[in-house]
């Protein structure tokens, strides 16, 4: 087949069917229906009973799908060109009875003929998330996982704001927001989910309003409270992944210990001045927060962003790295930051990665860590005192 040949020349050599003719034949049976498009196109919509053979795979896979060279084969693609070339290829391979659907599945759908669409996604959702589903690694399957996922954000402030915005845009179906604070003018330099008119409103409420305007697919659950030993198990138990954007060490240790008990993955980040760090803690697969930091630093060495300065974009950079980790965990793609601590130094624009090992003596996830009986769940020492001491 000469590469200079036009599609019209190819089509002269093969048989083309109108969609209605193709449907008539399919009803009668005895036809092998082949979809010659890419995976993502097939996933979005295809004709019932079609077997996917990507254009690049035709020569290699057609024998497997249609072993009998005398069998009737009907091929289609999006608009009838790729399937015409495939029909021509089949002819050259010795198939006697291959035809291409003129105008492809677009013409088929335009005539109101039925197609199979993925369950659980509406027409609006297929449009909204098309740039996700176009990625073979994500696809419709990955998007459906996101729509069914429940992600809890601890803190609707610096890290939580950008993370929540992008997780909402991505279509994470349920976002829980834990924060007992109200929007302050000094937050707006980095907490972009809030705005000037929301000063004085609860942060969870302000964030919920922004998310609802951005993406109606997302259900927001507000927790206007601080995590403590008495409420943490109840709050985190129904979530798949937790984003740690807490602004204090007692909450970080408490969240770590509770998430290890319940085996919940936590994507943890922190920012200060021009520096940020992030790691993903998946209980018993990698280290936990305590393996990394066995003891909390003294209070005077742990300034929160409230008191110390932080470059606003640091919240965006690190919060979005967290959102990226969450999406990978939810969709089951890529390589999570398990056992790796990623440091970002913004003035030099340098990323550094440190390996972190599980501590066999870790009091929470180590070999000798005590089993926690169900009736002991939710009982924690007083973390405020522990850290202040």
Question: Which residues form the interface with Zn ion (CB under 5 A)?
Answer: 288, 290-291, 362, 364-365
CB of 291 to Zn ion, least distance (A): 4
Residue 330 β-bridge partners: none
CB of 290 to Zn ion, least distance (A): 5
By beta-carbon proximity to Zn ion, the closer residue of 82 and 252 is 252
By beta-carbon proximity to Zn ion, the closer residue of 53 and 365 is 365
By beta-carbon proximity to Zn ion, the closer residue of 51 and 359 is 359
By beta-carbon proximity to Zn ion, the closer residue of 286 and 316 is 286
Supply φ then ψ for residue 340, to 5 degrees: -130, 135
By beta-carbon proximity to Zn ion, the closer residue of 274 and 293 is 293
CB of 50 to Zn ion, least distance (A): 50
Supply φ then ψ for residue 213, to 5 degrees: -75, -35
CA distances 137 to 53, 125, 203, 302, 323, Å, are 18, 18, 34, 40, 17
CB-facing half-sphere around the CA of 97: CA atoms within 13 A: 13
Q: How far is CA 352 from the centre of its chain?
A: 25
Question: Crossing angle, helix 58-65 and helix 81-92, to 10 degrees?
Answer: 70
CB of 359 to Zn ion, least distance (A): 6
CA angle 353, 356, 359 (to 5 degrees): 175
By beta-carbon proximity to Zn ion, the closer residue of 37 and 290 is 290
The closest alpha carbon to 268, from 293, 288, 244, 242, belongs to: 244
Which residue has the closest beta carbon to Zn ion? Answer: 362
User: For residues 243 and 11, what is the distance between their CA atoms, to the nearest angstrom?
Assistant: 55
CB of 376 to Zn ion, least distance (A): 18
Helix segments in the chain, DSSP class H: 7-13, 19-28, 39-44, 58-65, 81-92, 104-110, 123-128, 130-133, 139-147, 160-170, 203-214, 232-236, 249-261, 289-292, 312-331, 383-388
By beta-carbon proximity to Zn ion, the closer residue of 119 and 371 is 371
CB of 286 to Zn ion, least distance (A): 9
CB of 266 to Zn ion, least distance (A): 12
């Amino acid at each position: 087949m000469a590469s200079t040949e036009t599609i019209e020349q190819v089509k002269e050599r093969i048989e083309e069917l109108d969609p209605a003719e193709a449907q008539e034949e399919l009803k009668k049976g005895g036809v092998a229906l082949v979809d010659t498009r890419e995976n993502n196109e097939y996933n979005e919509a295809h004709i019932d009973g079609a077997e996917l053979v990507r254009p690049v795979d035709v020569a290699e896979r057609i024998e497997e799908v249609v072993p009998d060279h005398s069998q009737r084969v009907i091929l289609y693609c999006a608009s009838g060109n790729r399937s015409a070339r495939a029909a021509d290829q089949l002819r050259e391979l010795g198939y006697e009875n291959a035809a291409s659907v003129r105008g492809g599945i677009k013409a088929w759908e335009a005539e109101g003929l039925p197609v199979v669409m993925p369950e659980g996604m509406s027409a609006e959702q297929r449009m909204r998330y098309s740039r996700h589903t176009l990625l073979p690694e994500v696809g419709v399957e990955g998007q459906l996982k996101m729509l069914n996922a429940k992600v809890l954000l601890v803190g609707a402030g610096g890290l939580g704001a950008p993370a929540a915005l992008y997780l909402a845009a991505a279509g994470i179906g349920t976002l829980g927001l834990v924060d007992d604070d109200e929007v302050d003018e000094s937050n707006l330099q980095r907490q972009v989910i809030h705005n000037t008119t929301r000063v004085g409103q609860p942060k969870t409420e302000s964030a919920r309003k922004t998310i609802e305007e951005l993406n109606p697919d997302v259900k927001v659950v507000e927790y206007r409270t601080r995590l403590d030993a008495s409420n943490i198990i109840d709050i985190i138990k129904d979530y798949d992944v937790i984003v740690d954007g807490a602004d204090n060490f007692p909450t970080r240790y408490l969240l770590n210990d509770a998430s290890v008990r319940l085996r919940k993955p936590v994507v943890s980040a922190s920012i200060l001045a021009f520096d940020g760090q992030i790691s993903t803690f998946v209980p018993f697969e990698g280290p936990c927060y305590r393996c990394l930091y066995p003891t909390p630093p003294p209070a005077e060495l742990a300034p929160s962003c409230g008191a110390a300065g932080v470059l606003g974009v640091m919240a965006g950079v690190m919060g979005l790295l967290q959102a990226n980790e969450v999406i990978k965990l939810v969709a089951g793609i890529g390589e999570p930051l398990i056992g790796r601590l990623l440091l970002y130094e913004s003035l030099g624009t340098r990323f550094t990665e440190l390996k972190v090992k599980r501590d066999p003596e870790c009091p929470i996830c180590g070999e000798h860590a005590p089993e926690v009986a169900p009736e002991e769940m939710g009982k924690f020492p007083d973390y405020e005192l522990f850290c202040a001491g």
